Structure formats: C-alpha cells, structure tokens
Structure 1
C-alpha cells in the first residue's frame, strides 16, 4: 500500500512541478510579442483493479495546452494588413497634399502672379519694365512647375525604395515560416506533441508578414501553414517558400514593379494584385494618387503652354514679326516594352494638340500582326483598331499619335500624354522684344464717312496664319442693296448676328447683307459692325505696322486665365488645378479617417484575441499558489508513504 501511495504522491509531485514550470513560463513570456498562454491539462492515471474495486493510481499530464483562437487571429491579421496599408498610403499622400495646397509653395500663387504680370503689361502699353516683369513671372511659373514635378519624382523614388525593402522583407518572412513549417511537421509526423513555442513564433511571423502585405492563411499537411498573397499566388506551401522580386517595369525603367518568381521566369504583378500592408499601400498610392497627380499637373502645364502659344503666335512682337512659341510643350512619355522583338523598328510619338479633348488616361499601343491598336487604359476601351500608318499623325482624345517603322506581333508601347508636362514646361522667349503683344491687323473708318457705323477692333484666328489674307481689305456699303462689298474674292464669309443666327456666304461673297451688331469672319479675320452706315461708306482692315504700344494680343493672352480650356470647354486652368488639389485633399482625408477606423478595429480584435491567449499575471500568481500547495501536498503524501513503509519495516524487525 505504501508503494502505491508513494507512486500516487510522485505523480502529483510531477504534475504540480509541470504546473509550476508552465506558470513560470507564462509569467516570464508575458511581454513577448505573439506569445500565447499555456496551461497544464491533467488526467487521472490508469486505474488498478484490486478485486474489490478499482483503485486510483494518481494523475498524469495529458497535454500542455496552448490557448489560441484561429478565427480571432485571422481577424487580427486582416486588421493589421488594412491598418499598415492605410498608414503607408497616408504617409505618402500627405506629402503631396501639403505640397499642392501650400499657399506659398503651391502652383496657384505662381499662376496668379504670372497672369497679373500679363495684365499689368497690357495696362502699361507693353512698356519695357512691364515686359521684363512679365518674363520674370513666366520664368518663375516654369520653375514652379518643374519644382513640383521634381518633388513628385522624389516621392516616386521613395515608393520604389519602399517596394524593394518590402519585397526583401516578405521573402525573408516566407523563408522563416517555411523553416518553422518543417520543424513543426517533423514533430507531428513523429507522433509527438506540438511545440507550442514554435507555433507562437510562426504565428507571430505571419502577423508581421501582414504588416507588409495581406496574407491568406490556410492549414496544410502535418500542422503546416499554406500562405498565399494577392490573387492567390502561393508564398509558402509546406516547407517550400516562393519568392517575390523587385524589378524594373518593362515599359518604364525608372519604375519598380513587383514580380512573382516561378522557376527561372519572373511575371510582373499588376499594382492592384497585391493589397494591404506597407507594400500594398505603396502600390495603391502610386497607381491611384501619384500617377494621376503627376499627369494632372502636367495637363495644366501643357494646357497653358498650348493655349498661350496658339494665341501668342497670332500677335506681333516688338520688331513687328509674328510671335513664336512662348512655352515649350512637352511630348508624351512613350515607353517601349523591353520585350519587343529585336527586329522591331517601330517608333511611337505623341503630343497634345487639343487640351479640351484630353481624357485623364494613359494609352497602350500594340501591334496585332495586321495593324496597330490603341487602347485607352482608364476604361480598357480600344480607341483605334487595325491602324496602318501612312506617315500622318492620327488624333485621339486631343493627342496626335505618329507611328512609324515596322513591328512584330505582340510589340507594345505605353503612352502617357501629360506625364512629362510639368517637367518639360520651359520659357522659350528670353528677350522682352520677343513678346507678341500687338495684333497683326488694325481697323479704321475714314472721317468722311457719312453714317454712324463703326468697325470694331479685329480679331484673328489660326486660319489667318495658315491662309494669310491679302491686306489691306476695304469694305464698302451699298445703300441700294444694303450689302457690304470688298471681301477677298477667294474667301467665304461667315456672319453671326447679334441674336446668334449664322449665315454663310460662299466665295466669292458679293452680296453680304449688313446687319448692325453682326460679326463678319473671313480668312481668320473677325470684325463686328455697329451703327448705321451711309451710302458708299468704307471700312479698312490693314496690317498693323509700328504698333509698339498695341497691347490687344497681350490682353487676349491675359483672358486665358478665365478661359475654359479643359473638359470640352468646361474647366479653366485654375479650376483644373483646384480639382487636383481637391481630389488629393479629399483622398488624404479619406485615407486618414479610414486609418483611424482601422486602428480602432485592430485594437478591438487584438483585445478579443488577448482575452483568449494573453497572459493574466494575477491569474498566473494564483496558479503559482495553487501548484505550490499541490506540490507541498503531494510531497506530504510521499512523506506519509515513507513513514508507513518505515513502520512496516520496523514491525518485521
């Protein structure tokens, strides 16, 4: 009996010792990230049949249980991936938001200063000081465009660095998780109990992996984990780790993309293929904010340059010569895919010619084998199919595409119409005399006219440069017919009445009716007639010679500040830039609010998980006392068994 009692006491002693060790393990690891509390689970030892009944033989440790809820852990991982992604997004977008909205460093002050210089020049009859001030403000505007674009470029380099760092870290986590899978699987296949501390370490690595990219976790064979990312790409399968690669974009060598390694092949993953975590947030920021912002800034620069140049070339400079381009218009960015056939000689060029038709989108030009297709990437809509180049540009959404050379099937190019607009915005006119402030034609009526009719100051369009009108032109009024005569014989005349009615007179226009308040247009020249003419009254349209103080064209250049240039004539330069600032600002606030919500959700899910798996030091202190008393009690049992055994021995002596 004493031997059985001794065995029972010993089993209790071992169980209490295991409880004390496990409790001490919990206490010392309470502050270790990812540690899940462990509890000793006891069971009764096998019974002993004594013939008169079954007698207990003590206790045994059946399991050291690890408290962990996979459902709650999944929620924590998802919340962590979401928060990390939003934090990454906000850290980047807040830089753009602060830059664009800055009242001193933003574009708006420079735009306003530039147009103020234009208007001051018009008000000061194009004096030399006003011309110099206008050129200075134009140069400042160009510098501001370039500085903003340069800053966006620096942010882009930061995104590239983030992608490279994240890819390296993700690969390291994948390797470590695969190694732990192997160790845990070895224990499982040998029929041993699971190593709780290794399970904790693996779960913590998976949690940390989700700070870089959202990872989907599924149970695998032998208690291993299968981890996939993106749209199902496996990252860890059992003991095998797959790898990501940071690689240059095939169509833009300055852009770092994420590739998925399969054997010796690396496939580029789309920016939207990976979500969550630092990597997913950086990719989403680049595709949804940085790229559109840089293109939108370039759009404002190109729109200003195109419209300003068009009007500037309709004027005369201080030497009486036609104006030249005032600002440079940057050509579109064209990226040739490095995987195009080596025999391909195709060149694609693109330049914005009509800002009002611009669509906020990039384009892909691809050769199908029978012709070129142009696909608008914003909606993946083909806007040109099976095109065979003829040497002439083809206009698409306000952009002229010129394609030359020979291609092989599968060749492709990326075209970003306005991406380089801000960086390529430069002042071309360097001398004050080169500012075309005057209008190339003047109008007048003789003092001996008998009527009250007046001819307005003339306006000219691009048609005046393309097909110059022989000047001077003298219009005369015939009272008998009520018509104006003297229009150039080879030119049709368009008349727009004060009520908006339009009348077209084909060439030669000999019976053009006079109507007060009507505008007469021919050969790119427009004049408005008012009053009542007398018989044989004449009105002269002549070349403007010696118009040094003429500021009519500079006045029209100043009007561009409020002209609707974009979105089919519904948005000005300022409103277009304001839309960019508003879009970025709203998105920044959205990401900030969502980040705060994600942080609160992460805190809640962590709390719920900690309620199950966390170490409560008060509880562990109670357990220490409990196991200490159990240890002492078991020791007392063994002491009593020893006393009984000694007594039995003494009786035998």
Structure 2
C-alpha cells in the first residue's frame, strides 16, 4: 500500500503545477498588448497511476508542457489577405497621387487649357490683333504638358526607388527569421516549445507577407521555410538575399529584383511590391504614352493647318510647334513664331480680313482624330482621366473590401489566441486556490508523518 511519502510527492507536484500555471497566466497578462503575442496555456493531465495489489492508485498531476494557442488556418488566411490589402492600399495611394497631377475637373487642368488654346484661335479669327494671346495660351498649354510629363516621370522614379527599398527590407526580415529559426531549433532540442521565439518569428513572417505573397512550411525540428514563388527565401538557418539590378526598359531604366548570384527575376505575386511594379511597368507608362499621343496629335494637326496658312507679313510653310519635339515632355512652340507673333498664320490667302486659317485651327477640336476616328482631342483626354478614375475607384473598393476582411480575420484570430484579461484573472484565482489546497495537503501529510515518526519511539 502506498505510504505517506506518496502524499508528499503528490502535494509537491500539485504545488509546482499550480505555480507554473500562475506564472503562465501572469505572462499572458503582461503581454496582452504585445504585437504578435499568442496566449499560452499549461497542458495539465493526470500522472500515471501506481499499480498496487489494492488496484491502481492515482499519483496526482503532471505537466506535459506550455503550448501556444493558435489557429494555423486563420493565420495563413490572414497573411494572404493582408498581402492583398497591402497591394490595393499601395495601388490606391499611387493612383490617387496621379489623379492629383491631372487636377480634373479644374480651371487649371489640361482639359480646360486645351479648350483655352483652341478658344484663343477662335478669338484670333474675329480679332486679328490677338496673336499675342494665342502665344500666351499656347505656352501655358505647353508648360502644362511639361509639368504632367515630369510629374509622371518623377513618380516612376520614386516608385522604382520604393521597390528597391522594399527588397532591402525583405532581406533584413530573411536574416532575422533565419536567426530565430536557429534559436528555436536549439531551444526545442529537449522537447520544450519555444513559444515566445515562435511568436517573434510569426510576427516577422506577417510583416513579410505585406511585401510579397509568401508560403510557410514548418519543419520537424521547429524551423520554418518561407517561400516566395518556387524559391525558399528562408529554409531553416539558411536564407537567400535579393539583389536589385538596373535595366533599360523603353526610354527609361527600372529596378529588377533577382535572387542573389542569378538573373532569375522574382515574381512577388502580391503585396506592396506587386502593386509598385504594376504602377512602374504598366500604369505610369500607359499614362505617359497617352499623354504623348495627345501632345503629338495637337502638334501635328495644328502644324499641318498652320503651315498651309499665311502670316501677317505673307510668310508661309511655317510650323506653329517645333516639329521635332513630339512628346508631352519636350513639345515647344516654334522659336521663330514665339519671337515674332506676325508669323502666326491666321489667314489662308494673306488678304486683309481673311482669318479662315485661325478658324480652321480652332475647329480642330471638333475633329475625331483619335481612338480610330471616334474621339476628339478633348474626348480622348477625358477618356484618359476617366480610365484613371475607374482604376482608382476599383483600387479603393478592393482596399476597403480587404480591409474589412482582414479586420474580421484578425478579430477571429484574436478570439482564439488573444489574451482576455478577465479570463486570465479568473484562472489565476483558480490556480491560487488550488495552490493553497496543495499546500494544505502537504501540511496534513507532514502532520501525519510527524505523528508516525514520533510514535515509533514510544515503548511500554
């Protein structure tokens, strides 16, 4: 039959178990507001019974370990949707910035300035002395094209620099994750779970998922592999670094991310970097091409009519705009015309009162010369701005949708792994009472042992 010393052992186990449970609850409370912290719980179970002739007798309580409370599915889904949220937040921010460049609708927007330009020619048709006004409106229009072209080019350079910065941050995260993998592997050699280190690693992976789409695989030794596309950014204690190379794309340069010591371009497939790459390689170049086409159309159409007309002093065959500067960023009024407004060809015949050429130029605005003959110059520009507005609205809608989804997923995850102060305090009271009861058991057993031991020396 088990002796009193078994009672002491059971009391000691109970004390140590409740003390560990109290410590764990205190740790939970202390980290209730710590980013990335997962609630921990002590895994308590009955210890193996003692087999005696009288039957199996309980031996008290045992601790299997301290485990994180996590939901792997929610964490994986949250990372995926957080990456999508980051992508659309970045897209919306960049597109909104482009919208500000175009300043539409507005009296200083390009649409109004194009209208003012053609209105000045219409005014010249009724007032032959309005040549200076035509020049002024033309220069304002040219400067507006320059400004928008420069703003788009500057934004593209800024986005390119952002991509380089994001890849540098990914490299830093890779080093930190690999370091934590090493620490976790070492800490868990004895079978314990390195919960706090795992929380730190998971938080880093969460941060990484905002830059690119990632997959994670946990190895048997507790380390994690982090994949971007088909390549392992981190696998255990090993990691790859991302290099950036500058290449020529069209008339400008671009930063390309490749795996170190290779020319293999990385497909980030989500997150901020995908949005930035799409902005740099597609959205901004498309806007630049549209703006250049608009400028080129105005230059060539006006020049064709102007060169066929006659200036105030009989000059003919003169281009109004410089025919060799055919982009939004380079277009200029012909320097000869700018120096001598009398070269402006308002007339067809050169006869006094003939301003039909000025009228013909003013009416260019009504000709459907763009989009395969379906759009006027102003309509084409309005279509550009409208398409930009649709893209911006789409990005905002998706941003709001994913923000709501991420919030719901995060709330669901917090329900599982977040710390409830009320619950932890209740548990601490429960553990405290159990600790006090275990202490009383030890006291009772000690008293019984004292009685037995002191009685062993009594004789008649």
Q: TM-score range by the shorter chain?
A: over 0.9
The SS at the match of 2:243 is: strand
After superposition, give the CA deviation of every residue in 1:174-230 in whole Å (9 maximum; x if it has no partner). Answer: 111111222223344x3422211111111111101112222122333523222222x
Determine the structure 2 residue equivalent to 1:107. Answer: 110
* Corresponding position: 1:122 with 2:120: no
Determine the structure 2 residue equivalent to 1:58. Answer: 60
The SS at the match of 1:246 is: strand
**The structure with more helix, counted as a fraction of residues:** 2
Determine the structure 2 residue equivalent to 1:354. Answer: none
**CA 57–253 in structure 1, closer or farther in 2 if over 3 Å, else same:** farther
Distance in 1, Cα, partners of 2:39 & 2:373: 67
TM superposition shift of 1:102: 4.2
For structure 2, the residue ranges without an aligned partner over 5 or more in a row are: none
The SS at the match of 2:401 is: helix
The SS at the match of 1:222 is: coil
**The structure with more strand, counted as a fraction of residues:** 1
**What is the aligned counterpart of 2:79 among 70, 77, 80?**
77
TM superposition shift of 1:330: 5.9
TM superposition shift of 1:253: 8.3
The SS at the match of 1:6 is: helix
Determine the structure 2 residue equivalent to 1:540. Answer: none
Distance in 2, Cα, partners of 1:118 & 1:162: 44
Instruction: Decide whether the 8 Å contact of 1:175 with 1:241 is kept in 2.
Output: yes
Determine the structure 2 residue equivalent to 1:565. Answer: 369
After superposition, give the CA deviation of every residue in 1:355-412 in whole Å (9 maximum; x if it has no partner). Answer: xxxxxxxxxxxxxxxxxxxxxxxxxxxxxxxxxxxxxxxxxxxxxxxxxxxxxxxxxx
Determine the structure 2 residue equivalent to 1:152. Answer: 152
Instruction: Decide whether the 8 Å contact of 2:309 with 2:345 is kept in 1.
Output: yes
Determine the structure 1 residue equivalent to 2:306. Answer: 312
**CA 265–253 in structure 1, closer or farther in 2 if over 3 Å, else same:** farther
The SS at the match of 1:217 is: strand
Determine the structure 2 residue equivalent to 1:423. Answer: 329
Distance in 2, Cα, partners of 1:422 & 1:618: 65
Determine the structure 1 residue equivalent to 2:288. Answer: 294
Distance in 1, Cα, partners of 2:152 & 2:58: 78
How many residues are matched? 451
Q: Which moved more, 1:190-199 or 1:422-431?
A: 190-199
Determine the structure 1 residue equivalent to 2:201. Answer: 202
Distance in 2, Cα, partners of 1:636 & 1:253: 84
The SS at the match of 1:265 is: coil
Distance in 1, Cα, partners of 2:214 & 2:251: 28
**What is the aligned counterpart of 2:345 among 429, 436, 444?**
436
The SS at the match of 1:259 is: strand
Determine the structure 2 residue equivalent to 1:412. Answer: none
**CA 619–253 in structure 1, closer or farther in 2 if over 3 Å, else same:** farther
After superposition, give the CA deviation of every residue in 1:17-61 in whole Å (9 maximum; x if it has no partner). Answer: 110011011111111111111111112223222322222222111
**CA 146–17 in structure 1, closer or farther in 2 if over 3 Å, else same:** same
Distance in 1, Cα, partners of 2:199 & 2:108: 50
Determine the structure 2 residue equivalent to 1:605. Answer: 409
* Corresponding position: 1:241 with 2:150: no
Determine the structure 2 residue equivalent to 1:278. Answer: 272
CA RMSD of aligned residues (A): 1.8
Determine the structure 2 residue equivalent to 1:555. Answer: 359
**Alignment map for 1:396-415 (pairs within 5 Å):** none
**What is the aligned counterpart of 2:31 among 29, 32, 40?**
29
After superposition, give the CA deviation of every residue in 1:152-174 in whole Å (9 maximum; x if it has no partner). Answer: 22322321232122111111111
Instruction: Decide whether the 8 Å contact of 1:85 with 1:275 is kept in 2.
Output: no
The SS at the match of 2:264 is: strand
**CA 77–176 in structure 1, closer or farther in 2 if over 3 Å, else same:** same
Determine the structure 1 residue equivalent to 2:248. Answer: 250
Determine the structure 2 residue equivalent to 1:95. Answer: 97
After superposition, give the CA deviation of every residue in 1:97-151 in whole Å (9 maximum; x if it has no partner). Answer: 2332140332011111111100000112x22xx0111111001100111111122
Distance in 2, Cα, partners of 1:629 & 1:150: 73
**Alignment map for 1:620-631 (pairs within 5 Å):** 620-631=424-435
Distance in 2, Cα, partners of 1:313 & 1:221: 79
Determine the structure 2 residue equivalent to 1:172. Answer: 172
Distance in 2, Cα, partners of 1:226 & 1:582: 44
Distance in 1, Cα, partners of 2:279 & 2:248: 20
Distance in 1, Cα, partners of 2:375 & 2:251: 34
**CA 311–622 in structure 1, closer or farther in 2 if over 3 Å, else same:** same
**Alignment map for 1:478-557 (pairs within 5 Å):** 544=349, 546-557=350-361
The SS at the match of 1:310 is: helix
Instruction: Decide whether the 8 Å contact of 2:211 with 2:272 is kept in 1.
Output: yes
The TM-score with structure 1 as length reference comes to 0.67
Distance in 1, Cα, partners of 2:352 & 2:342: 10
Determine the structure 2 residue equivalent to 1:139. Answer: 139
The SS at the match of 2:221 is: helix
Q: Which moved more, 1:93-102 or 1:107-116?
A: 93-102
The SS at the match of 1:95 is: helix
